[in-house]
Amino acid sequence: MPVETLRWTDGGLELIDQTKLPGELTYLTCRTPEDVHDALRRLVVRGAPAIGVASAYGLLLGLKDKRELPKADFAAALGETAEYLKTARPTAVNLFWAIDRMLAAAEAAGELEAPGLYAVLESEADAICEEDRESCRLLGRFGAELLKDGDTVLTHCNAGALATVDYGTALGVVYAAVESGKQISVYADETRPLLQGARLTAWELGESGVPVTLICDDMVATSMAQGRIDAVVVGADRIAANGDTANKIGTLGVAILAQYYLVPFYIAAPLSTVDFGAATGESIPIEERSPDEVRGFGGQATAPDGVDVYNPAFDVTPAHMINAIITDRGVARPPLEESLAALGKEDG
């Protein structure tokens, strides 16, 4: 990708404003945790891994001007900012994973005063950011093995460079397959209500030179029935220990169609997206968003004013419908509960 989704600078956290794509490629600078919270809520930055990295830097923004404080006050600000950022969005586990990792780094460096603790936290956030680049490339290479030369992959939402620091999970698999010399093309569905497929996936694949065909969400069945799709690869917001996977609303429908039409259905996500504390998908919290997202788009009404709306942002695909989960530590195959646990153990 010619662009980075986010970057940490002296001036603050710079984020591509994804609400403006594909029309405008602009960066928005967050200078406070409140700016980051708002950017997360409004999906200026979105996608589970990018949410994790942005929240780690968001925590730093709350501590930047507290380095001169006594250690106890610095620690109190750390705790408060961590709790606050965790309220931004409930489903992507990477947000909680990244913040808890920052808290653990501070705990481990407990003997340091505020300036030293800040430095430790800054290197931890940088490490989370760098590891994201690396894990996307690793999982991309594992996943590329599952695709054949000439395949057409259907993806849902955006699990690309824009959902990570710079490469992507589901689209990382596509990029790695293309880099290995395979001809791969992509069908991107629109992904109502917020059109991450149309606005973001179609845009970034276009920028990357990967052939992409845009379809409406209701064209997936026909595309599969006509044999246009060889594999489905999507990302994940949270994977339960048994393999049940929460991802963007509509993923479950795609999985059901893939099962019916015998199209392999793959999840691509770093191991940090596996929540080993959630036994099954039932314990994954699902975000519900504003009814206005369904009543219209971009300020334009597409439904009667005030009509009742149900707007869950994610759904859960049961483990038994998933052919494999591609992680940065290897490919987990059914039985997913055992293979994920084995990968988790290797990872420490």
Q: Which residue is nearest to ligand MRU (CB)?
A: 235
Q: Secondary structure of 77-133 in the HEC alphabet?
A: HHHHHHHHHCCCCCCCHHHHHHHHHHHHHHHHCCCCCHHHHHHHHHHHHHHHHHHHH
Judged by beta carbon, residue 78 or residue 135, the one nearer ligand MRU is 135
Residue 84 to residue 99: CA distance in whole angstroms:
11
Angle, CA 1 vertex, CA 90 and CA 53 arms, to 5°? 30
Answer yes or no whether residue 62 interacts with ligand MRU by CB under 6 A: no
Answer yes or no whether residue 55 interacts with ligand MRU by CB under 6 A: no
Judged by beta carbon, residue 164 or residue 339, the one nearer ligand MRU is 164
Residues from 225 through 264 that contact ligand MRU (CB under 6 A) = 235-237, 247-248
Q: CB of 136 within 8 A of CB of 91? A: no
Provide the minimum distance between the beta carbon of 46 and ligand MRU in the complex, in angstroms, as a whole number. Answer: 3
Answer yes or no whether residue 313 interacts with ligand MRU by CB under 6 A: yes
Residues from 78 through 97 that contact ligand MRU (CB under 6 A) = 92
Answer yes or no whether residue 139 interacts with ligand MRU by CB under 6 A: no
Answer yes or no whether residue 155 interacts with ligand MRU by CB under 6 A: no
Residue 276 to residue 99: CA distance in whole angstroms:
17
| CA nearest neighbour of 289 among 2, 105, 40 | 40
Catalytic residue among 132, 166, 230, 237: 237
Residue 58 to residue 37: CA distance in whole angstroms:
8
- Active site (annotated) includes residue 315: no
Provide the minimum distance between the beta carbon of 140 and ligand MRU in the complex, in angstroms, as a whole number. Answer: 12
Provide the minimum distance between the beta carbon of 305 and ligand MRU in the complex, in angstroms, as a whole number. Answer: 25
Provide the minimum distance between the beta carbon of 15 and ligand MRU in the complex, in angstroms, as a whole number. Answer: 13
Contact letters (x/-) for ligand MRU, 189-218, by CB under 6 A? Answer: -------x----------------------
Q: What is the DSSP letter of 159?
A: -
Give the chain's count of helices (H) and strands (E).
12, 16
Contact letters (x/-) for ligand MRU, 30-49, by CB under 6 A? Answer: -------------x--xxxx
Residue 189 to residue 230: CA distance in whole angstroms:
15
Q: CB of 51 within 8 A of CB of 89? A: yes
Residue 120 to residue 113: CA distance in whole angstroms:
11
- Positions annotated as catalytic residues are 237
Which residues contact ligand MRU (rule: CB under 6 A)?
43, 46-49, 92, 157, 159, 163-164, 169, 196, 235-237, 247-248, 313
